Chains A and B, each alone.
Chain A
């Protein structure tokens, strides 16, 4: 091996060792520096992305309109498009009303956010939302939708935050089963790529008397998630030698996340 290559290899190994021995705090600082460095690109990229999307939508609409005009050759041809757009607006209106009802009906102090990026990483189930420190968002805050618990805030920058979804193995939630004394830890499962994701409720008692269809809620213990947030519904129960586990279908449709709510206030641990 050439001496220059050997020196480079030694420097590489030294650099890798340095990186692997960084503390949690240093890693967060590195991440913060990285994201603040690329944030101008992300901002301009997002602007270009939305302009392109608008343009493409416009082009698509124009093409649709052209086809409609060619086929019907009259003003009537425009009616279906107008009708579909009205329906779209109606649906959007209903969604927003639903979200507003949720925000008004909840007892937590929440901030609404839009999901701007889904599954950026290969192995982690995460999404990115469009609010960050500018809206007082910090790490380890619960994120909800009008269907139930979505996940937990992981990394926060000035204008963006990363949310670890409930379907990720790393997102653990202290959970209880309705109409039962059973409590356990709910988390996602590794390696489930296709189909609807399922959650696993572990550390239930050996003789847990549970039925499919029973709902699972947060206990509020563990100082991360507030109590009584819907998590999902039991699908099946597996009895083990020492404890039982239940397979839970999440209440949130993670494939269709749009508006989410970040809970600003941490819950008081139950006495």
Chain B
């Protein structure tokens, strides 16, 4: 279990490097593959709550370190209404929320029904993007929600979700190597003698 947890943390860290080389699909409503979010979501359903929270903190803080914008600068007399930037650390809460959502269906996942978790990962990514956009709207004011933005969120969620079986397979392979099972109840059922 400890080995599996350590490797999961390392996998999440590796996903940050991979994310750097994943381009946005500008021709496809500016959608993108959110590798970090996907790895976190898939990992969140396979670990216990404290580990999930550790991963959420790690992912949220590193994500913000990667993308937080600095102040615009300039003379405040001219730029009297600067656009508010999002505070460093807001993603920690979003990742935490997504993690709790995934852990909600952990009993199903442990029975081997990974497809529910795969579907939920798409929903969680959509909620993550919607939450992020909502925070931007609250901080900056002026609700602007165009069809283009909605399409971007939907396609990003769908594309990211489509990769989730691959990540679950990877996590399952890692767990096997660590003599650990991410589907303990399914394995138990298989071992029971049938009459």
Contact = CB atoms under 8 A, between A and B. Distances in A.
B16 A38 contact: yes
B26 A255 contact: yes
A193 B50 contact: no
A174 B83 CA distance: 14
A121 B67 contact: yes
Interface in B46-72: 48-50, 53-54, 56-57, 60-62, 64-72
Contact of B67 (A16, A124, A139): A124
Given A122-B132, A193-B151, A19 B78 contact: no
Given A11-B53, A12-B53, A45-B21, A192 B71 contact: no
Interface extent on B, as a size class? 35 or more
B38 to A, nearest CB: 14
A31 B65 contact: yes
B10 interface: no
Contacts of B133: 123
Interface stretch (B84-92, B108-116, B171-179, B181-189): B84-92
A71 B53 CA distance: 61
A187 interface: yes
| Chain A facing B: main interface SS | mixed
Contact of A154 (B20, B65, B70, B152): B70
A185 interface: yes
Interface in A121-145: 121-124, 126, 139-140
Interface stretch (B1-9, B138-146, B161-169): B138-146
Given A16-B60, A45-B20, A193 B82 contact: no
B24 A118 contact: yes
A120 B30 CA distance: 11
A202 B87 CA distance: 26
A179 B70 CA distance: 34
B131 to A, nearest CB: 12
A223 B75 CA distance: 6
Nearest to A15: B57
Nearest to B30: A193
Given A20-B89, A123-B133, A221 B53 contact: no
B159 interface: no
Given A4-B50, A123-B132, 19 more contacts: A16-B89, A16-B96, A19-B92, A22-B89, A24-B70, A24-B71, A30-B65, A31-B66, A42-B20, A120-B24, A121-B67, A139-B70, A152-B72, A170-B69, A190-B142, A190-B144, A194-B151, A222-B79, A223-B75
6 contacts: A8-B54, A16-B57, A42-B20, A119-B24, A121-B66, A185-B81
